[in-house]
Amino acid sequence: MSATTPLLIIVGYVWPEPKSSAAGYRMLSLIQLFLAKNWRVIFASAAELSPHRFALAELGVAEHCISLNDSSFDNWIAEQAPQAVMFDRFMLEEQFGWRVEQACPDAMRILDMEDCHALRDARHQCFKSGNPVNAQALNSELALREVAAIYRCDLTLVISEFEMQLLQQHYAVPASQLCYCPFLMDNTSLSNVPDFNQRQHFVAIGNFRHAPNWQSVLWLQQSIWPLIRKQLPQAELHIYGAYPPPKATALHNAKQGFLIKGWADDAVSVLQQARVCLAPLAFGAGLKGKLLDAMRCGTPSVTTDIGAEGMLLDNQWAGIIANDDIALAEAAVTLYQHVDLWQLAQKHGFDTVQSKFSLKQHEQRIWHELIQTLQQIEMHRQRNFTGLMLRHHAYRSTKFMGQWIETKTRLAALSNQT
């Protein structure tokens, strides 16, 4: 490969686990986007090497372990001289953004939000308090940090059309700082999926470490599933997800058909075998990878307005949307029993994947926005006065805090040696 081949360095929150979470799948699709354009990619992370991580070396992607609050990162990234650096979530931009700007000032800084953390947190807090989401909840300290990171970066990848609108209308972020980048499906819908009569039971799937998924399991167990079982006494609910804690496995109840299955080696196979996917999400943000996978597998789903957010095609859902216990249970039973409705929902799911999440549809536009920003980087930054101002002030505080922690750690190590 030529020495002039452009380089992207991704500073990852965790090592990509596409079979464990939608975030892992999304990160892998972004890596593949750059590789397809003949860029080199290095993935760097301070996280522990997880057992379910994707083998990036198979794609020709180098892995590099880094440390928080350690100037060794500065020397390493300066030697790499990347053309672009991508931060995986805003917390990584806070940790490493000032170091990247100092070591590689000409490198384009990209933020991949994954989802809008401020929105997810606001909904979570309001769910716990029983209050509706309002401006005060959206203007949290977390929101101040996240939006500041967006301004400090050159371009931010936003996964949801709803969040694109929220960032521009509520937080007044200029459109020039944002790039709509949903899930990018290469092989869109799967062929030869089992039909209605070849499937049985219900499925729910999602990483147990993700708070909206855990709340969804509790909602199913406490309220929704008992209502479904009254009408379908032979039905089972198979619940899959990475990293199930003891409190989750304790909910397993074979007598009630409430089965905690844990890690799914093949999520596609699991979804294809089920007749209906259940995803009653009370809070959350971004796009729901499990619901996109359900569409690809031809599995109609029952979810909430929050679950379907940003994923509707022509204001229609590939299943049924409901928002309370009784309505969700009735929707599940209806889809499970009525083949005509089920087949229409399946077809709409295939259409949604093809129309909204096809790589071919979005690839050219996303790449154009990335390259245009890179080629006009200085002009782009000068137009972003708020970003200039925030980097002037905020980077100084985060820089000095990082240097203080590094010095403190070094002195502690020296003290232990003596």
Distance of CA 10 to the CA centre of its chain: 15
- How does pLDDT run across 287-314, given as a tens digit for each residue? 999 999 999 999 999 999 999 999 999 9
> In this structure, are residues 251 and 258 in contact, taking their beta carbons and an 8 Å threshold?
yes
Angle (CA) 310-223-213 rounded to 5° is 40
User: Which amino acid is residue 170, in one-letter code?
Assistant: H
| SS3 at position 239 | strand
Asked if pLDDT for residue 405 goes beyond 80, the answer is no
The Cα 53–Cα 96 span in angstroms is 22
pTM of the model: 0.90
Least confident of 54-58, 82-86, 333-337: 54-58
What token pair was written down for 324?
């309370």
pLDDT of amino acid 242: 85
Q: Which domains does the chain have, with CATH numbers?
A: 7-184+359-417 (3.40.50.2000), 196-356 (3.40.50.2000)
Residue 52's pLDDT band, with cuts at 50, 70 and 90, is confident
Helix (H, G, I), strand (E, B) or coil at 109: strand
pLDDT digits (tens, 9 = 90+) for 124-183: 999 999 999 999 999 999 999 999 999 999 999 999 999 999 999 999 999 999 999 999
> How many whole angstroms separate alpha carbon 250 and alpha carbon 274?
23
| Cβ density class 196-230: b for 16+ within 10 Å, e for less | eeebebbbbbbbbebebbbbbbebbbeebbebbbe
Per-residue model confidence (pLDDT) at position 19: 76
Question: Two tokens at 379?
Answer: 């002009």
**Cα Rg of the chain, angstroms:** 23
Chain centroid to CA 75: 30
Question: What per-residue confidence (pLDDT) applies to 375?
Answer: 97
Q: What is the pLDDT of residue 168?
A: 98
Q: What is the C-alpha to C-alpha distance for residues 238 and 232, in angstroms, rounded to an integer? A: 15
Average model confidence (pLDDT) across the chain = 92
Q: Which tens digit of pLDDT belongs to each residue from 204-233?
A: 999 898 999 999 999 999 999 999 999 999
Helix H segments across 139-220? 141-152, 161-169, 211-219
Higher pLDDT, 68 or 21: 68
Q: How far is CA 335 from CA 198, 238, 300, in A?
A: 15, 17, 8
DSSP 272-289: HH-SEEEE--SS--S--H
Sign of torsion, CA 381 387 388 391? Answer: negative
